[in-house]
Amino acid sequence: MIFPPQLLQQVQQHPYPLIYATISGAHLYGFPSPDSDFDLRGVHVLPLDEVIGLQVSHETVEKSKIEDGLELDLVTHDAHKFFTLMLKKNGYVLEQVLSPLVVYTTPEHEELRAIAARCVTKFHAHHYLGFSATQWKLFQKESPPRVKPLLYVYRVLLTGIHLMKAGVIEANLVTLNEIYRLPYIADLVARKTTGAEKGTLDAADLSFHESEYQRLTAELEQAMNESSLPEHTQAGPELNDLLIRIRRKSL
């Protein structure tokens, strides 16, 4: 993928050194609309004098802007905060680390990618169950219903199911559907990627998609119960060691 120059400018203009910057959101999930914004996510490293005091500032850097007609959303966390999130049942941060859409990388990022794979537990399923439930409620509230939140529902559920069964994080819905072959996904993706960000659905489809939502939710719950993934991550010491080396390198 060829990245717009505005993304590279955001990396170059970041106030702190970066470990990595990747693209998340609809571009990662495989269904960007022509007017979709770019979600840039990453990890930065605060200088020592900003982390050794009683109050730590700038643990998160956020910036949203429209530059030359391109909408950008940048969010990065300091390494300590991000590594702590990696040790929780947070699939979202693992998807960011492992995103194949890499705008900026370092050797520490490659090391972090290897560690991320060992952070996965069977209880990450709760992240995907909760996220899909939130997106389903959003989908139900809208009139007329939009394609975007429905695609998020299916993306999240299939990512969770695949993680429980294969132990691998795959966030791209098109790739996932090559495995799980839900016949309606291709049409939904086509409607989203060739139309506007706020494309809508026919109300006649609602009962069908509610049935599918319930079915896939039950499948994810079953996959969690049957998963051979560990219940707890053992990656804490590795992340601690990497963080110490990153701090020393910044001196």
pLDDT tens string 132-171: 999 999 998 888 888 889 999 999 999 999 999 999 999 9
pLDDT above 90 covers what percent of the chain? 76
Q: Look up the pTM and report it.
A: 0.93
* Whether pLDDT at 238 is above 90: yes
Residues 9 and 114 in one domain: yes
User: Among 73, 24, 76, 4, which residue's Cα sits nearest to residue 46?
Assistant: 76
Give CA–CA dist 243/59, Å, rounded: 14
| Same domain membership, residue 137 and residue 202 | yes
**Average pLDDT for the chain:** 93
| Same domain flag for 64 and 140 | no
Report the number of distinct structural domains present in the chain.
Answer: 2
Band (251; pLDDT cuts 50, 70, 90): confident
Position 203 scores a pLDDT of 67
Q: Are residues 102 and 181 in the same domain?
A: no
**Span 24-44, average pLDDT:** 94
- Do residues 68 and 140 both lie within one domain? no
Q: What is the pLDDT of residues 54-102, one digit of tens each?
A: 888 899 999 998 888 889 999 999 999 999 999 999 999 999 999 999 9
Instruction: Please indicate, yes or no, whether residues 115 and 132 belong to a single structural domain of this protein.
Output: no
Residues 237 and 115 in one domain: yes
Query: 109 and 29, same structural domain?
Result: yes
What pLDDT score does 107 carry? 97
Q: Are residues 128 and 214 in the same domain?
A: yes
Same domain, 244 and 206: no
pLDDT at 186: 95
Q: Is the pLDDT of residue 17 over 70?
A: yes
Residues 218 and 243 reside in one and the same domain = no
- pLDDT score at 250: 82
Q: Please indicate, yes or no, whether residues 240 and 171 belong to a single structural domain of this protein.
A: no
Q: Of the given ranges (118-127, 140-149, 239-248), which has the lowest mean pLDDT?
A: 140-149
Q: Which CATH number do you get for residue 103? A: 3.30.460.10
Domain with 52 in it: 5-119+233-249
Look at residue 55 in the predicted model and tell me its pLDDT: 81
